[in-house]
Amino acid sequence: MKVRLHGTRGSYPTSNRENEYFGGATSCVELINGTERIILDAGTGIIALGSEEYYKNKEFNILLTHLHMDHIQGLGFFGHLFNPNNKINIYGPSTTYESLYSRLNRYLSPPLFPIPFRDVPGNIEIKEVLNTELIIGSFKITSNFIVHPGPTVGYRVENQGKVLTYIPDHEPIMGSMEMFDDDDWLSGFDLAKDADLLLHDAQYTSKEYSSKVGWGHSSMEHAAEFAHRTGAKHLLMTHHDPLHTDEIKKRDFGEFMDNHDYDFEIGLAVQGSEIQL
Amino acid sequence: MAAHDIEVILSRQLADCLSLPIFIVGPKGTLLFYNEPAEQILGKRFEHTGVLEVDEWSKLFRPQDDKGNTIPPENLPLVNALNKRKPAAGSFWINSLDGKSHKITVTAYPIIGRARKFSGALAIFWKEEGEV
Ligand SMILES: [Zn+2]
Ligand SMILES: [Zn+2]
């Protein structure tokens, strides 16, 4: 499968020269197997997928990790939602009392959005996920709740013997750099076990993390240690802090790599790049 | 073994930060974790014992009522929280490994996650006033 990164920025979109290498669009990843595609998260990165030239399918599957704005902001501007001939399946985590539809409707309705969600012309089906396994075409998908404020899942997607794990927002252990010794106490462990590619939150440096405990994000150290523990073969750090320019990102990552020695590939996620698994 | 539910993992993260003794058990009563203050009561270290089954850990406490009668496991608040999936509380005497008898009060509650999935129970131990 091909993994296309359409949005790698966390928190909010940016648009300036200093950020253009890693990109300013927020979370969105597309997985492609022949004519089959699924979309992970609907940050502003999804907007680029909205044209009919780019995306000729009539059925779309969008899997949301959670409903923070940087993961759904592009949904209302995803062009295919406005074609009545399109079928759009939106998956996302449920809460105990409020449905996913109702929670999405809080954003996709006035005054935050011009029209109510129910008036969007496309045929939208909302499907709630928990610790769930689902099959979409040739994609086998597992969702599990992970540590992040509000109901949040990560996704493990298997296709033709390859595994992509997507955990863009994750604070595996709060207020510490030390994860519990046993793997079964590690949030997200089953999702990332032996993944061929792990896309994981690494918003902060360890120094920055110390003043952002409980915000739900990882330092680069957390991400690398998590990848090491789970046996992931390739880690791409994502959910870049909007205040980190390309220069800062490259500098911090360079320093991190100078001080750590892991036996798997580590890189920074770049908007517009594509990885073949 | 599959990783624990997120609600159990977060319970351990909380227990790790608190100075009150806390025990976390899985849905079948297996003692999955106890924190450092709880190690003081048990006289054992979690790193050494690892997980303990119900009949192992309930014997370790040797819980007794005010008259010195042994309390059967099914009358312990933690076992009650597990079996009835409701909060439970109670006071009783335990012998810690240092040979001393302590009166403790236990508050236990079931861990039920967003999906209403029952993942186990958590017990907080309070020593009676005057006890150290
Ligand atoms: Zn985010
Ligand atoms: Zn988030």
Per-residue pLDDT at B129: 62
Q: What is the pLDDT confidence band of residue B127, given thresholds at 50, 70 and 90? A: confident
Helix (H, G, I), strand (E, B) or coil at A269: coil
Q: Give mean pLDDT, residues A99-103.
A: 94
H or E element at residue B79: helix B77-84
The mean of the pLDDT values for chain B is 88
Q: Percent of chain A beyond pLDDT 70?
A: 100
CA of A248 from ligand 2 middle (Å) equals 22
pLDDT score recorded for residue A176: 80
Q: Quick one: pLDDT at residue B120?
A: 96
Whole-number mean pLDDT of chain A? 96
> What's the pLDDT tens digit per position in A43-64?
999 999 998 888 888 999 999 9
* Cβ count near B58 (within 10 Å): 20
Q: What is the pLDDT of residue B132?
A: 45
The Cα A126–Cα A115 span in angstroms is 18
Q: Which domain holds residue A83?
A: 2-276
Domains, chain B, in order of start with CATH, read 6-127 (3.30.450.20)
Q: Which amino acid is at B48?
A: H
Return the minimum-mean-pLDDT range out of A115-129, A156-170, A225-239, B116-130: B116-130
On the question of pLDDT at A273 being above 90, the answer is yes
The alpha-carbon gap from B121 to the nearest alpha carbon of chain A, in Å, equals 16
Residue among A67, A129, A187 with most chain B CBs within 10 A, to mutate: A187
Of A140, A165, A137, residue with least CA distance to A153: A165
Q: What is the pLDDT of residue B97?
A: 65
Give me the mean pLDDT over the A84-99 stretch. Answer: 93
| Cα(A232) to centroid(ligand 1), Å | 22
Neighbours of A213 (CB within 10 A): 12
**How many domains would you assign to chain A?**
1
In the predicted structure, residue B105 carries a pLDDT above the cut 60: yes
Contact B114 A151 (CB under 8 A): yes
Question: Can you tell me the mean pLDDT for A254-272?
Answer: 97
Q: What is the pLDDT of residue A268?
A: 98
Q: Do the strands A162-167 and A274-276 form a parallel or antiparallel pair, or are they unpaired?
A: unpaired
Retrieve residue A12's tokens. Answer: 């909010």
Q: Which residues contact A243 (CB under 8 A, 6 or more apart)?
A: none
pLDDT at A13: 97
- CATH code of the domain containing A97: 3.60.15.10
Alpha-carbon separation of residue B17 from A175, B13, B124 (angstroms) = 10, 7, 13
Check B114 against A186: CB less than 8 A apart: no
- pLDDT tens, B37-70? 988 877 788 888 889 998 888 777 778 999 999 9
Which helix (DSSP H) or strand (DSSP E) does residue B112 occupy? Answer: strand B101-112
